[in-house]
Structure 1
């Protein structure tokens, strides 16, 4: 076969259903987080929207831990919409109060979850950051405000490492069982130029490598390497030729399972896949005897999982379709 294989080592850091997981970072964190959610993990995925640089991830988790509300000075009003420099535009709103209320609620919820969260999955997208000229603070998102408001620069690996050490100490003080999986997003940032993108990814990779070498409970998953070296053909990319296609995401997920799931969990996923397919089934005639029998059988198969995972949402959905 005309490809080079990336063979990630099986980790001693196994993921289990009784663990609480936080996945934050680039859109790749969203992909992994959704997969975990689909397979019944207790996972919180990007509560503040997509975050590209590691510093913004660390900052928001710190704010959640300290119960620090959103900075009013970071509000931006553009074309009738309110944005916040620390949040993704997905949380923007037409009303300032609504934006602050939703953002602060998410901070509060995450703060209450941190003592019970044992696995932190962070996907770093870029080492390029934008600092507010007035304060020197790094923003998570510029929200298309004038570039004259910011200074653009490249983080140094040592900055990321130093900030992570502080972040690590904070979370360990909250929950001594906290463990970390770091990844570098395989999504290329064309806007910054491919040359700068490569420098940026290299800095992130160096930082991850050093952090893994310094902490036994910090692991690195090679999503970036799998995409760049094993799935390097453009048929594994989405239409924009920058993001991984669904085929690529599914393949990287399979590798993630190999690294972090034990055999019992892999067996569960094989069985649960049949439930997912049944739930996704869309009949032409929902009230037909054949489909009603299908629902009854699916409920019976679902009941077999009641001692393994919470099936209440799936049961409610299926029972609502009974005629």
Structure 2
């Protein structure tokens, strides 16, 4: 006997991947810990994370919106102001460094920056430039709104049973003089780019691991029983500031994030990894879950991922699915999903 003779069929590429129909591929995730119907669940991360929160809510899970919209707003106004998108009204959190910042600010470990961005007579928050599209009437109003979000983050972490965080990018921009890491490049969504001040940084494995570890330690400092489920967004980079090819830059970014998530899951009993990235980008799926832009995940792709998520939690096989449409002509709908991805604005700057 050798070790391979006792392995299950899912451990072999031929029997687990090559021979089954792609729609029948299942069993990629064995949950490390239970997630119950009444457990308080938080979601945060890149734009793909919003699908997870919505699916949890629609399934009747106890997904927590820590900062509900005030009464009187229309659905469009709630959407534009990012109410009910993630558990925290922070906007998209693409990097582990930005997650660490939000947790450190909310728990008093660090002071949030006092900088504001001006657009005419309106004030915008550099820490979440897309959250209030019309801006604020004053800096005081901006800081009060941010303080409310920090309080909501703090309260959410204290009462949650599980945090589900979706890692998105390794590329980021930060202030040269030990300033904060920006959620997006200044001068794209909002603000003005200053080449003497704003510095590009592509986080390496050790840096992502350091920041994510610190973020989770901060969260568990107020809630020692908090469990963490990590995922990696299957959405590729809209653009890379490395001046390299977008495809190889995406491979680097996702590889680092996937490796860090796997490492932390292997090291800690309270950390697990769910393979949403593999379920969309894996070779057997042949890209059928992407819209024609090869970036936006289709509704069928989201449903495929989430059915495998709930199937694993419930101890059942995922429901059978029909092959999605593979028409990649420009007329094929894109469902407007890029509305939620701040970095999608970068496509505006590409040569035509």
Question: The TM-score by the shorter chain falls in which range?
Answer: 0.7 to 0.9
Change in CA separation of 1:69 and 1:169 when aligned onto 2, cut-off 3 Å: closer
Distance 1:162 1:67 in 2: 16
1:13-66 deviations in whole A, cap 9, x for unaligned?
221132211111001111101111222323232421111111111210221122
Q: TM-score, normalised by structure 2?
A: 0.68
- Match of 1:260, SS? helix
Is 1:257 equivalent to 2:334 in the alignment? no
Is 1:42 equivalent to 2:95 in the alignment? no
Aligned residue among 125, 132, 139 for 2:168: 125
Aligned residue among 210, 219, 227 for 1:179: 227
Aligned residue among 86, 89, 98 for 2:130: 89
Q: Is the 8 A contact 2:172 2:185 kept in 1?
A: no
Aligned to 2:273: 220
Aligned to 1:25: 45
- Match of 1:151, SS? strand
Distance 1:141 1:251 in 2: 29
1:253-304 deviations in whole A, cap 9, x for unaligned?
10111223467xx9xxxxxxxxxxxxxxxxxxxxxxxxxxxxxxxxxxxxxx
Aligned to 2:326: none
How far 1:69 sits from its partner (Å)?
Answer: 6.3
Change in CA separation of 1:80 and 1:13 when aligned onto 2, cut-off 3 Å: farther
Larger radius of gyration: 1
Instruction: Answer 1 or 2: which has greater helix percent.
Output: 1
Aligned residue among 106, 122, 142 for 2:149: 106
Residue segments in structure 1 that go unaligned for 5+ positions in a row: 267-323
Distance 1:261 1:132 in 2: 46
Q: How does 1:2-13 map to 2 (within 5 A)?
A: 3=22, 5=25, 7-13=27-33
Distance 1:231 1:124 in 2: 23
Aligned to 2:182: 139
Q: TM-score, normalised by structure 1?
A: 0.74
- Match of 1:104, SS? helix
Change in CA separation of 1:262 and 1:14 when aligned onto 2, cut-off 3 Å: farther
Q: Is the 8 A contact 1:48 1:91 kept in 2?
A: no
Higher mean C-alpha deviation, range 189-198 or range 89-98: 89-98
- Match of 2:281, SS? helix
- Match of 2:64, SS? strand
Residue segments in structure 2 that go unaligned for 5+ positions in a row: 1-19, 66-85, 241-245, 319-352
Aligned to 2:209: 161
Q: Is the 8 A contact 2:231 2:273 kept in 1?
A: yes
Aligned to 2:255: 202
CA RMSD in angstroms comes to: 2.4
Distance 2:35 2:111 in 1: 32
Aligned residue among 288, 300, 303 for 1:247: 300
Distance 2:313 2:132 in 1: 32
Distance 2:32 2:90 in 1: 30
Count residues in correspondence. 263
Q: Is the 8 A contact 2:234 2:280 kept in 1?
A: yes
Distance 2:122 2:186 in 1: 10
Q: Is the 8 A contact 1:67 1:111 kept in 2?
A: no
How far 1:147 sits from its partner (Å)?
Answer: 5.5
Distance 2:293 2:194 in 1: 25
Distance 1:234 1:80 in 2: 46
How far 1:243 sits from its partner (Å)?
Answer: 1.4
Q: Is the 8 A contact 2:170 2:257 kept in 1?
A: yes
- Match of 2:272, SS? strand
